[in-house]
Amino acid sequence: MTSFDVIVIGGGHNGLVAATTLGRAGRKVLVLEAAGEIGGAARTEEFFPGFRVSSIAHVLNRLHPEVVKILELEKHGLAFERQATPSVALSTTDDPLVLRGAYGESLDGATDSEAAAWRELRALLFRYAGILKPFLARRPPDLADMSLSETSALAMAGLSLKRLGKEDMRDFLRMLLMNVADVLDEHLEDDRLKGLLAFDAVLGSHLGPRSPTSLLGLYYRLAGEIGGVPGAQLLPKGGMGAIIAAMGASASAAGIVVRSNAEVAKILVEKGRAVGVALQNDEQIRAKTIVSAINPSSTFSLVGSRELDTGFVRKVKNIRMMGDAAKLHLALDRPPEFLGVRTEDHRGRLVIAPSTDHVERAFNPSKYGEFSPEPVMEITLPSLADPSLAPDGACVLSAVVQYAPYALGEGWEAGKPKFLNAIMAQLEAHAPGIAKSIRHTELLTPLDIEQRYRMPGGHWHHGELQADQMLMSRPVSGAAGYSTPVDGLYLCGAGSHPGGGVSGVPGLNAARHIIAMKA
């Protein structure tokens, strides 16, 4: 039997990035994927005969350029469309507002004064997100034990802060932990624009726009870039699975062996050191380095609390990771028509979040275990740009819907049909007639996402991405920076710094860390 230097648990995008980076550095790497195919929550899947959709992640906005470069993704079939996808703030009472270019380089449908205010705020947000960007790209600072290069990188970030000038620096620090609603109120008037920005700030987290620190979510988004354009977004041709296909090809080229239907049952630890894994079928595979791309709490469950310290187990148990977002897939007879939206703009990202207050009100019930009666959502119609995703003339709708608390008080079995009704009422209000064109509906609650994609809490970030669970506290102190208390065991998934979204950064950083450790 072939022996491997490294076993990567989980063939999601971060697992593939870590595996390929290590493989290209000369390691013999085996990727173990529990499901029948690689890709995790970034697959393209058929949800109804002839209809395919990006499973969870459906908008690409932060795939890191170094990941594209190192994995040679473009050589392996990834094609970026040069035209950025617009974001459309839908409204039932007004015309939609369209943010064109990279996150609203221009604004359609706003007054001149609002457009000017937005230009100013947009520049400010990008400037400040730019300060955070290096922190969100590198390994998190290790307060106890930092190498010279890490220290100097941190110093550079400090320097860029200094370069801002006194006023800007003061404002950056003032705003850092603010809630997004207050920031928007300081700058903008238009409810549609504020609603969209508020929605984007809290997308994928258990926060409302008025929750302290909610602005960080927007910074996180704007620190991403696509094709060298900060803030840009696109719907990948072929769905998110196309990214995975390119990564898979890159992995093969690097000699990575991928085994699917290989669910790890246990991480084997001997004298404080990870020495291999045992699969569900009791097969044992040994390797000197074990890299886990799966959720941190799942990872440490595989280790078992007997091999870990009490304080550490307590910290892992306290990671907040109850998802609050659902995913909706509709197979439609024909493309829907959203009120006032130009035909070509239907290819963009359509957002139902009519105001900050609306988003906040949608959030409120979720704190008490109830879903939003008037949910907010981000809708894409990927088959418009890529007809291969749906049969002739038909259309796929993919939407991320908030808020859908993982621990729904009444339970999701009872709650799911009611929540679907609430979602459909919103869709029908914005795209009259859509309900009549539905051939098939698939609604994935956080519970479904948990079960289908093995993500505890159904949380696509593998843990809330909030200030207390970022940087050296992600996923917990003691396991930040990709090393864990178990020698030879590393984390490389979204649960590690910087966090989720299809970026590949945790995977890349973890691999680089492992390579540097060895040297």
Partner 1 sequence: MAKTARKTNASTRPPRAALQGHFRTLRLPSPLQPRIDALAKTEDWYTWAGYKAPLSLWDEELEYFTIRSQAAAFDISPMVKYRIEGADAEAFCNRVTLRDVSKLKPGRVHYTAWCDDAGHVLDDGTLFRLAPTHFRLCCQERHLPWLLDSTIGFDVMVEEETEAVAGLALQGPTSLAVLRDAGFAGVEKLKIFDLAEFPHESGMVAISRTGFTGDLGYELFVPAKLALSLWDRLFEVGRLHGIRAIGYTALNRARIEAGLIVANADFVTAEHAIRGDRLRLPDEIGLGFMVDAEKPHFNGRRTILAARANRSMKHVLVGLEIEGNIPAEHAIVYHRQKREVGLVSAAIWSPMAKRNIAIASLSRPYGDTVTDDLWVEIYAMRELKYERLMKRARIVPRPFIKLERRTANPPANV
Residue 84 vs residues 77, 236, 370, 451, 493: alpha-carbon distances, Å: 19, 11, 36, 34, 27
Q: Which is nearer to partner 1, 260 or 305 (CB)?
A: 305
- In whole angstroms, what is the distance from residue 380 CA to residue 86 CA? 11
Q: Which is nearer to partner 1, 101 or 478 (CB)?
A: 478
Q: Which is nearer to partner 1, 212 or 304 (CB)?
A: 304
Q: Which is nearer to partner 1, 195 or 456 (CB)?
A: 456
Q: Which is nearer to partner 1, 306 or 436 (CB)?
A: 306
Instruction: Select from 90, 46, 494 the least CA-distant residue to 239.
Output: 46
**Closest separation in Å from C-beta 271 to partner 1:** 8
Q: 3-state SS of 295-331?
A: CHHHHHHHHCHHHCCHHHHHHHHCCCCCCCEEEEEEE
Q: How many CB atoms within 10 Å of residue 487?
A: 15
Residue type, 470: M
Q: Which is nearer to partner 1, 270 or 283 (CB)?
A: 270
**Closest separation in Å from C-beta 484 to partner 1:** 11
Long-range own/partner contacts, residues 420-425 (CB < 8 A, 24 or more apart)? 420/328, 422/371, 422/372, 422/373, 422/374, 422/375, 423/326, 423/328, 423/375, 423/377, 423/399, 425/374
Q: Which is nearer to partner 1, 50 or 485 (CB)?
A: 485
Q: Which is nearer to partner 1, 29 or 486 (CB)?
A: 486
**Closest separation in Å from C-beta 492 to partner 1:** 21
Q: Which is nearer to partner 1, 320 or 440 (CB)?
A: 320
Tokens coding 15: 């697992």
- In whole angstroms, what is the distance from residue 201 CA to residue 196 CA? 9
Q: How many CB atoms within 10 Å of residue 481?
A: 24
Q: Which is nearer to partner 1, 309 or 413 (CB)?
A: 309
Tokens coding 20: 């390929």
Cβ neighbors of 166 (< 8 A, separation 6 or more) are: none
**Closest separation in Å from C-beta 481 to partner 1:** 16
β-pairing, 349-352 vs 376-380, is antiparallel
**Closest separation in Å from C-beta 489 to partner 1:** 12
Instruction: Select from 2, 7, 514 the least CA-distant residue to 275.
Output: 7
**Closest separation in Å from C-beta 308 to partner 1:** 7
**Closest separation in Å from C-beta 307 to partner 1:** 5
**Closest separation in Å from C-beta 477 to partner 1:** 10
**Contact (Cβ atoms closer than 8 angstroms) between residue 294 and residue 460:** no
**Closest separation in Å from C-beta 301 to partner 1:** 8
**Closest separation in Å from C-beta 479 to partner 1:** 12
Half-sphere exposure (CA, 13 Å, Cβ side) for 503? 28
**Contact (Cβ atoms closer than 8 angstroms) between residue 293 and residue 18:** yes
DSSP state of 462: S
Site residues for partner 1 per CB under 8 A: 269, 272, 304-314, 317, 478, 485
Q: Which is nearer to partner 1, 252 or 305 (CB)?
A: 305
Helices within 335-411 (DSSP H only) = 356-363, 382-385
Give 31: exposed, middle or buried? Use CB within 10 Å, 0-12, 13-18, 19+: buried
Q: Which is nearer to partner 1, 296 or 504 (CB)?
A: 296
**Closest separation in Å from C-beta 425 to partner 1:** 37
Q: Concatenate the DSSP letters of all residues of 172-237 into one string.
A: HHHHTT--HHHHHHHH---HHHHHHHHHHHHTTSS--TTSTTTHHHHHHHHT-EETTEET--B--T
Provide the 3-class DSSP secondary structure of residue 130: helix
**Closest separation in Å from C-beta 310 to partner 1:** 4
**Closest separation in Å from C-beta 272 to partner 1:** 6
Q: Which is nearer to partner 1, 82 or 271 (CB)?
A: 271
Location of structure tokens 């270019």: 101
